[in-house]
Amino acid sequence: MADPRGSAAQYTTMVLLDYIQAPSVGLYWLALTGFGMCVLQESKPISFRRRRLAIALALALVAGYIVEVLYYFSRSVADPQYTAPRNAAIRCLGSILVWIPLSSSITTNSKLIWHPYFGSFVVQFAFEMIICMLRGFSLPLDDRYSNIPLSISALRALVSLVLLVDGLLILISSKGGKGTDDEEQSLLGAQANGSAAANGSATANGNAGYGSIEQASSDDNGDDETLAAHDKEIKDQQAKRLEEQGGWFGYLKSFMIFLPYLWPKDDWRIMLALFLRLIHLVQGRALNLLEPRQLGIITDKITQGAHEMLWADIGLWTFYRWINSYSGLGIIDNFAETYIGNQAFERITILAYKHLMSLSMDFHTSKDSGEVLKAVEQASSLNSLIELVLFEVFPILVDLVIAMWYVTHLFDAYMAFLVLFMGLAYIWLGLYFTTWSQARRRVYVAKQRTENTTVNETVHNWQTVAYFNRAPYETERYRANIRNTIMAHYAYYFRSVGGHAAQDLLMTFGYSACCIFAIHQIIYGGKPVGNLIVFIMYWSTMMSPLYMMSYSYRHISSSLIDAERLLQLLNTKPTVSDRENAKDLIVKAGKVEYKDVDFAYDARKQIIKNVNFTVDGGKTVAFVGETGGGKSTMLKLLFRFYDVTNGSITIDGQDLRSVTLSSIRDAIGLVPQDPALFNQTIRQNVRYARLDASDAEIEDACRAAAIHDDIVSFPDGYASKVGERGVRLSGGQLQRIAIARVLLKNPKIVMLDEATSAIDSAIEAQIQEAFRRLSRGRTTFVIAHRLSTIVDADCILVVEKGEIIERGTHAELIARGGKYWELWSKQTAGNAINGSGSRRNELKMVWSKQVRG
């Protein structure tokens, strides 16, 4: 016979190992898997044929534990005097919980980080072998070969050994070369290369890195495959950024730049609101237990024969219930949450908007406006993400741990396993049905988008619909889109409802099983009736978070993507910005000099080539030439929408790159070729040039721009709204209001980019007079295709393919008979200039005399 001390020590060791086996294997696997994901350890493709044996062995382990549990259960039913060893039963139940997801992971994933699995096999074999040996030594020799649990344990030890060997072989083989089949190809390689190629061809003036923000496809037809590809593209982009950041640690750390805006330390109000939320979080965890426990105490006292009202206990229970309700501390927590959310939204949104408005012109000419606006609007997703993690997911995890301990305290560990099994199954069903219905939801959302697009297109293009009398056609098209949306909704609805029904069915039977077990414990185990009441009351506290847990992963993922859009927008830096210690531009004479200026939007195509010219203060220079020659680009460089590639531009000797952008744009006024107005009144649009201007000054500017008479003829006069981008005004009226704005601004330098292109001949004389007044004493740059508007310019520059090929006054250029003469002749004489050479020279002399006269 063995030494009693040795037997007691062996038994104690065996019991301890029984309790810690499942947590050790499970935590090792989860910890190593999580660590590998966080640091982006490379997952290796492992074919299903290579995984078959490991899958079969893992399932054999699960089957072995289930068989042992069934043995204990059947023997307990057959023999009421028999009590199953709790440590062995809990070991089996815990191992089932661990090995089901572990084996499922091996089965469903073709690319794995194998180290956590192999380590789990090692830990499993060590525990299984030691426990099997201890169990064998604790039994008499005659019973060792007939003991069923020992036999099952020995078989599991053998299976664990084979699994360990197979896992080692897989680990060794996975360190070899990468596979070549489709499932082994990188999802990021081609995209990354493509991006690199694209970036390699861009210059500092191209796109400003906006490719880092997801662009929605503009021609998306709502097809499921297109949407799936777009979702895959988003995930691939996120995976690429994860790799760039060195894993989840670095990726999530990048969001920390928002923390001072979400919870600013210097704002005591937000800190107080946050403290109140934390207080409510802590008290909620305590009161979730105290409230049902107090009702259980009342029930126990009643069942024990209380003969008077339990006012003190009832009052305490009422107090717990009130303080834990919305009318108690809940309303304070709700107000604190609302205040923190509103303040965070204001800070983050203003941060995003301010950054967006500071970005350079290359960004704004290549952006997807809808995507950018969405990124700004989604600023609240950051706050909702932190709220979700800190005040919803984390408390749920705490509640589940407390629940496991509390139901064990009320009954025993078997009740905790019942709750845990049901909870995990509930969450798994939620994940499964959410994933299953996700594709249908994508289609449903796409159909909604198509439906809305149809409405927007037809409303915005009402005139086109009316021109072709297609209202019946558009109505039927819209009806078809609505029906497609409804059918897509049904397809998504039935999958979603099926998931809810399955979860509800599980919850119903699980709740019944727990109550039956609790009643059994009360009848046969001597537990007080109050424990059942406590459990029933506590049930909703345990189960209500499970729904959120089962669906929160999608919310967290979408919130991360939404927040990432904003993060990437903020990480997009302007290509044109103020240098350190930049000074304000001081304009005295207004002398502008272009010196050896080169510029290219893209390095593959030069736009401006070696441009040199000087404009003295108060002079007018005009740019002429064919469309696309670079005239407008020269003005954009002066406005510093872009920085020159080579050379320099100076104003009164000050390099534009050494002064602040704000001072440059204060000193320059621009009348664009295609003016855009806000959907406000005419008076508000003109006042935008100088916010402190009086009504009289606004009207004087409009008179000088020859638009005042038109405005006062409108029913609402200066209070007339102009519509989106000024669509309610004619082209000539738009341009004259744009001229009035510049007149009101009264800048030192003026740019006119085709400012009279939409003005008829009758009004042109008035506009020319307005220009003369505007140009007097100011440096003026004019781009014009109507050469009659620039004959009085001090200097005319003829631009062709980014180069200045001619320069001089109107008379000088006409007398030269070059490119300018050709342009002038086309506009004034048409085909008549194709006559004899003598006639051509005669026309040149006449035009020269007219100009000099």
* CB-CB contact of 442 with 231 (8 Å): yes
**Which is more confident, 710 or 8?**
710
Q: How many of the other CB atoms lie within 10 Å of CB of 139?
A: 14
Q: Where does the pLDDT of residue 764 fall: very low under 50, low under 70, confident under 90, or very high at 90 and above? A: low
Whether the pLDDT of residue 812 is over 80: the answer is yes
Q: Where does the pLDDT of residue 142 fall: very low under 50, low under 70, confident under 90, or very high at 90 and above? A: low
Whether the pLDDT of residue 411 is over 70: the answer is yes
Give the residue-averaged pLDDT of 233-262.
64
Q: How many of the other CB atoms lie within 10 Å of CB of 852?
A: 10
Q: What's the confidence (pLDDT) of residue 846? A: 42
* CB-CB contact of 546 with 431 (8 Å): no
- Which of 128, 134, 135, 113 lies closest to 65, judged by CA? 128
User: What burial letters (b/e) apply to 614-626, b meaning 16+ CB within 10 Å?
Assistant: ebebbbbbbbbbe
**Which is more confident, 647 or 199?**
647
Tens-place pLDDT, residues 735-747: 888 888 888 888 8
- Interhelix angle 331-358/268-303, rounded to 10 degrees, is 150
Q: What's the confidence (pLDDT) of residue 820? A: 87
Q: What are phi and psi of 582, to 5 degrees?
A: -65, 140
Distance in angstroms (rounded) separating the CA atoms of residues 173 and 49: 13
Whether the pLDDT of residue 247 is over 90: the answer is no
Q: What's the confidence (pLDDT) of residue 100? A: 87
Distance in angstroms (rounded) separating the CA atoms of residues 142 and 131: 19
* CB-CB contact of 781 with 752 (8 Å): yes
Distance in angstroms (rounded) separating the CA atoms of residues 385 and 559: 6
**Which is more confident, 330 or 837?**
330
**CA 821 to centroid of chain Cα atoms:** 56
Give the residue-averaged pLDDT of 747-769.
72
Q: What are phi and psi of 612, to 5 degrees?
A: -135, 125
Give the residue-averaged pLDDT of 249-257.
67
Tens-place pLDDT, residues 534-585: 888 888 777 777 766 766 666 666 666 666 767 777 777 777 777 788 888 8
**Which is more confident, 12 or 375?**
12
**pLDDT averaged over every residue in the chain:** 77
Q: In what order do the strands lie in the sheet with 654-655?
A: 608-615, 592-599, 646-651, 654-655
Distance in angstroms (rounded) separating the CA atoms of residues 805 and 535: 91
Q: Is 576 helix (H, G, I), strand (E, B) or coil?
A: coil
* CB-CB contact of 738 with 675 (8 Å): yes
Tens-place pLDDT, residues 616-639: 888 889 998 887 788 888 888 888
Q: In DSSP terms, which residues pair with 179 in a beta bridge?
A: none
The residue behind tokens 């409009």 is 702
How does DSSP assign 373-409, residue by residue? HHHHHTTHHHHHHHHHIIIIIHHHHHHHHHHHHHHHH
Record the tokens describing residue 575, joined without a space. Answer: 């290509």
Cα–Cα distances (Å) from 155 to 15, 24, 753, in that order, read 20, 21, 88
Length of the chain: 853
Whether the pLDDT of residue 468 is over 60: the answer is yes
Whether the pLDDT of residue 207 is over 50: the answer is no
Distance in angstroms (rounded) separating the CA atoms of residues 623 and 632: 9
Q: Give the range with max mean pLDDT: 126-135, 258-267, 556-565.
A: 126-135
Q: What's the confidence (pLDDT) of residue 629? A: 81
Which residue type occupies 333?
D
Distance in angstroms (rounded) separating the CA atoms of residues 837 and 820: 17
Q: What's the confidence (pLDDT) of residue 588? A: 85
Whether the pLDDT of residue 722 is over 70: the answer is yes
Give the residue-averaged pLDDT of 141-161.
81
Q: What's the confidence (pLDDT) of residue 536? A: 85
Distance in angstroms (rounded) separating the CA atoms of residues 140 and 147: 10
Burial, 390: exposed, middle or buried (Cβ in 10 Å; 0-12, 13-18, 19+)? middle
Q: Where does the pLDDT of residue 246 fall: very low under 50, low under 70, confident under 90, or very high at 90 and above? A: low
Distance in angstroms (rounded) separating the CA atoms of residues 135 and 153: 9
Whether the pLDDT of residue 666 is over 70: the answer is yes
With a pLDDT cut of 70, the percent of the chain lying above it is: 78
DSSP alpha helices (H): ranges in 218-263?
224-245, 248-253, 259-262
Q: Where does the pLDDT of residue 432 fall: very low under 50, low under 70, confident under 90, or very high at 90 and above? A: confident
Distance in angstroms (rounded) separating the CA atoms of residues 376 and 570: 10
* CB-CB contact of 742 with 750 (8 Å): yes
- Mean pLDDT is lowest, of 186-195, 531-540, 566-575, 607-616, for 186-195
How does DSSP assign 592-618, residue by residue? EEEEEEEE-SBTTB--EEEEEEEE-TT
Give the residue-averaged pLDDT of 307-312.
82
Report pTM: 0.60
Record the tokens describing residue 490, joined without a space. Answer: 């049904």
**Which is more confident, 394 or 666?**
666
- Which of 60, 59, 57, 64 lies closest to 148, judged by CA? 64
Burial, 275: exposed, middle or buried (Cβ in 10 Å; 0-12, 13-18, 19+)? exposed
* CB-CB contact of 666 with 584 (8 Å): no
Q: What's the confidence (pLDDT) of residue 159? A: 92
Tens-place pLDDT, residues 815-826: 888 888 888 888
Q: In DSSP terms, which residues pair with 668 in a beta bridge?
A: 749
Please give the span between the terminal C-alpha atoms of the chain, in angstroms, as a whole number. 135
